[in-house]
Amino acid sequence: SQQGEEDPQALSIQEGENATMNCSYKTSINNLQWYRQNSGRGLVHLILIRSNEREKHSGRLRVTLDTSKKSSSLLITASRAADTASYFCATEMNTGNQFYFGTGTSLTVIP
Amino acid sequence: DTEVTQTPKHLVMGMTNKKSLKCEQHMGHRAMYWYKQKAKKPPELMFVYSYEKLSINESVPSRFSPECPNSSLLNLHLHALQPEDSALYLCASSQAYTGNTIYFGEGSWLTVV
């Protein structure tokens, strides 16, 4: 399988706490993207980090990428109940236009 | 406008039926994708079209037949499906060169009875 692995599979935190989820992948990539999916809905793009970048921020999101370890992390700070969703990493192969998803992390933020 | 529109939202079909899922985008993207997602699982890549030509087929059974009539439209023709094909089918699009965001539609829920 070309999928990455994410951990934890599920995460439950209190509102206001930080949430960290990790993604590991198998092959060299062009970039890595993080998506959010509310139950039964489409995927919403959160952030893209290129293979030559190590860290990126967007609002309450912080993403890191370590290509030597083939891993990435997504940090959501000051979580809100509305952040409750599944989060997926997706890697783009060096050949381009092939995006494979990680196994996902289900985040529950308790008000 | 970063919208990918999929129709229908829900589809119930028998195993002998022929139906189609449709996807449309007006972002000028020249790469379009079909993904299949089962409950509590990640999306799985099925097909990729680049400049209206099929570039990737992830060993998908022939009962799924993709079509890209023009740069804005992507169809998925369904025939003789099995109950295990019931899933959320997601369409996406992106620029055709690397390093770009892919944008997803809301998906079509397919139930095969």
User: Does the pLDDT value for residue A3 go beyond 80?
Assistant: no
User: Does the pLDDT value for residue B1 go beyond 60?
Assistant: no
Beta-carbon separation of B106 and A41 below 8 A: yes
Higher-pLDDT residue of A42 and B35 is B35
Each residue's pLDDT tens digit, A83-106: 999 999 999 988 778 899 999 999
- DSSP string covering chain B, please? ---EEEE-SEEEE-TT-EEEEEEEE-S---EEEEEEE-TTS--EEEEEEETTEEEEE-S--TTEEEEEEETTEEEEEEES--GGG-EEEEEEEE-SSSS---EE---EEEEE-
User: Does the pLDDT value for residue B66 go beyond 90?
Assistant: yes
User: What pLDDT, on the 0 to 100 scale, is given for residue B31?
Assistant: 95
Beta-carbon separation of A98 and B94 below 8 A: no
Beta-carbon separation of B42 and A40 below 8 A: no
pLDDT confidence tier of residue A41, bands split at 50, 70 and 90: confident
User: What pLDDT, on the 0 to 100 scale, is given for residue A96?
Assistant: 75
Query: How far is residue A32's CA from residue B100's CA, in Å, rounded to a whole number?
Result: 10
User: What pLDDT, on the 0 to 100 scale, is given for residue B113?
Assistant: 94
State which residue of chain B sits closest to A99, comparing Cα positions: B45
Percent pLDDT > 70 in chain B is 98
Residues of chain B positioned with their CB less than 8 A from the CB of A92? 98-99
Interface test with B, best of A9, A38, A43 (most B CBs within 10 A): A43
Half-sphere exposure of A8 (CA within 13 A, CB side): 9
pLDDT confidence tier of residue A1, bands split at 50, 70 and 90: low
Percent pLDDT > 70 in chain A is 97
**DSSP structural state of residue A27:** S
Average pLDDT score, chain B: 94
